[in-house]
Amino acid sequence: MRILIVEDDPNIAGFVQKGLREERYAVDLARDGEEGLLMASTTPYDLVILDVMLPKVDGFTVCRRLRVAGNSTPILLLTARGTVDDRVTGLDMGADDYLTKPFAFAELLARVRALIRRKGNDHAPRLTIADLEVDPLAHRVWRAGKEIMLTNKEYALLEYLLRNPDRVLTRTAIIEHVWDIHYDGMTNIVDVHIRALRAKVDREFSAPLIHTVRGVGYVLKTPEA
């Protein structure tokens, strides 16, 4: 899951970013409303954590512009102002939830999980292809009924592939989704993790699911495909 944090306070931004990364989320950071609006408009995110008091463009305006443009990404507003009027304004602008500063990270994390679950309600709770099964809420993986233990990045890579079956994903697209958006596109980090993932998901089973498209990237598909 990829999350955008739009927060100008470096202490809060660093605290939230570090905590979410430890929980296996890919996290990008914008320092002002203008940058946040651009990133949320051009990159597919699973959630936006949006401060209200931002330089250049305030959070309420960012939220409203995203909704007017048809962007339905869940938005969690953060603010130091906890009045009823502020909460109502944020929700009326299209926000999905509201959290007042200061807050405990455990509460933020619970709200993040709830919003992402709500977004995924239209989909099956588990992702499957052939005999591979992934539980995105518990971050558990099975193939042919055997549970497979993955690292955080291996899991994030597999889930991204599984959410895009039969679609060739370029190395750049994988880096932008699974790693930070500013990650060096010339690195071989994707190939290294694909090899490690194949060793766990494909090597001991009857038919490979992860395939290389030379010069382009990788695709997850059924043996029949």
pLDDT attached to residue 65: 95
Whether the Cβ atoms of residue 178 and residue 217 lie closer than 8 Å to each other: no
Residue 72 lies in a domain: yes
With tokens 């370029």, the residue in question is 170
Strands in 26-30's sheet, in edge-to-edge order, are 26-30, 2-6, 47-51, 75-79, 97-100
Reading the chain (225 residues) residue by residue, the pLDDT tens digits are 789 999 999 999 999 999 998 887 888 999 999 999 999 999 889 999 999 999 999 999 999 999 999 998 999 999 887 677 777 888 888 899 999 888 899 999 999 988 887 765 544 468 899 999 998 777 889 999 999 999 888 998 999 899 888 999 998 888 877 876 555 556 788 899 999 999 999 988 888 999 999 888 999 998 765
Query: What is the distance of C-alpha 70 from the center of its chain?
Result: 19
Q: How many whole angstroms separate alpha carbon 104 and alpha carbon 90? A: 21
Do 45 and 22 share a domain, yes or no?
Answer: yes
Query: What is the distance of C-alpha 160 from the center of its chain?
Result: 9
Whether the Cβ atoms of residue 2 and residue 28 lie closer than 8 Å to each other: yes
- Any idea what the CATH number is for the domain that residue 23 is in? 3.40.50.2300
Q: pTM score, two decimals?
A: 0.64
Do 135 and 87 share a domain, yes or no?
Answer: no
Count the domains in the chain.
2
pLDDT attached to residue 126: 80
pLDDT attached to residue 156: 87
pLDDT attached to residue 17: 92
Domain boundary among 121, 146, 168: 121
Cα within 13 Å of Cα(110), Cβ side: 7
Burial 20-32, CB ≥16 within 10 A → b, else e: beebebbbbbbbb
Contacts of 188 (CB under 8 A, 6+ apart): none
pLDDT attached to residue 124: 47
Residue 225 lies in a domain: no
pLDDT attached to residue 180: 62
